[in-house]
Structure 1
């Protein structure tokens, strides 16, 4: 470090000067100000430079006879380690720890293993800290080069194990960036694989051009829910490509208990899905304008097979609303109705929907 200002900038802390090789004393933060003076505690924050390149921001608590410390921030480059922290509320202190090491150093591949942990502490008015929760995460970063230029960067992460339909599983995500010269694509292509305890995939789903930071560990907008009401948990996930003004499109994967894996089910996928166990229906609602929208309602029998599908549609042409209804079973149309009404006679979307659903009667 050139000087003490470089030290603070390197740590990502506020730019305040302090004498080299000495403590930096400052006013306690808001949480420290709540400590009663009757406790005779002296909470202070200082910075220190130890063990070569290790830089730390430390909270020291002293009662006049003894003292204790908690590291608030730390940075080291050999090996690479980072610590940051936050007082979440009046009783929880959270510490973030990250370390990385080189695991491959080849002509066209550099790979780094990154271990992270989030540790929660409970603290009292005397600033006694007790660890109450610790979560660990691991990921791997790979850099591929071609003609001495970086060509591809991959970030691979594994999520926490959990049990699903009686199977122990965990997510594995791979975010791939492609380089064009020195320019890296802004958002990576992200693939999620749900693996069982034998490392065999039970579900594969991909998101082109997604933000990697929102993608690590598990997919965005995902949900495990029994879609076809067969007693097994299925999977539905937000599709950022198909989603838009029509609504949030969700892809559905039904669980196959015989194969013990999830299979794509486009017949159930749709916009803003809603599962109604009481009526054994799965509904989808999509819109392209105030007077242009559609409703699809799948009716299931007691064996979770599709009995029939009701499809409702509202369109507008030359000031006339065209309401249409079909009941389908496979490719066969079982019932069909069409009704036309002037736009001025329908003041709200709810009124239009009510008239549309009445076509089924």
Structure 2
């Protein structure tokens, strides 16, 4: 049975041939050789690609892709979460081509900017807009997205322009298009239910500073709690002291549970990231959010490997809260236990 392994970005970086030669990391070399075994499948995500793309030196970018190629790593498709059969070099080429696209017909970029704005606002970072304004903007983006797709689907199909193998299926094709036009607005309206709850957060102590100084949070001393209890303890306070149920404000999924748990722990001071601190030429919020996204995608793997202790602790607690069976280990601990694979 093949075991799946997700590597955090620092581990991937340190497995480059040049880094292994320069640093003489014996454990890393042993680990890399282990990953090359036939019963091991390394996985990576679009967050991996995004962080590689942040590297300014093009040669270093290619070194990271080369590692993924060496390991025959498989890409986790963002939507389906299935593993792609494409090689990392092809995935990287496609990713770079996507970034070059300037004609944003569907409005993805506006939607992404609004979601990023929401994420920063909900983390207590300075923002001139209230949640109601951000929620309205997000609602408008989603409705525009829906209308654009429906307009694109509103076409007259000429059977003569279809490939030969499709010409006998014209009625089924038209039926599928009509079904998509009917069901897409319904699906997106269901998502809007969660957006409409955003105004409830306007009076909530958002972000690390006010949240961890909130007396009920201070009283539970989160750093002393077992990993299996920490998120539940924070969540209990949120639900007890406010008129709404925290979890009900989010769609119920493993991914959302991990994201919520990770965020709550950062706010409450459980091995927190310093994303609220201003550092020159460094977007600490983006780095922290990327770590959270790595934890989300790694929940599809048997193992998440990281040497970042604070990240591992939050990932472990998030998985216990969300019901994920992913094992979170450092390279050293993984090598000690790899005989069980």
Q: What TM-score do the two structures reach when normalised by structure 2? A: 0.22
Q: What TM-score do the two structures reach when normalised by structure 1? A: 0.21
User: More strand per residue: 1 or 2?
Assistant: 1
Q: Kindly indicate whether structure 1 or structure 2 has the higher relative contact order, using CA contacts under 8 Å at least 6 residues apart.
A: 2
User: More helix per residue: 1 or 2?
Assistant: 2
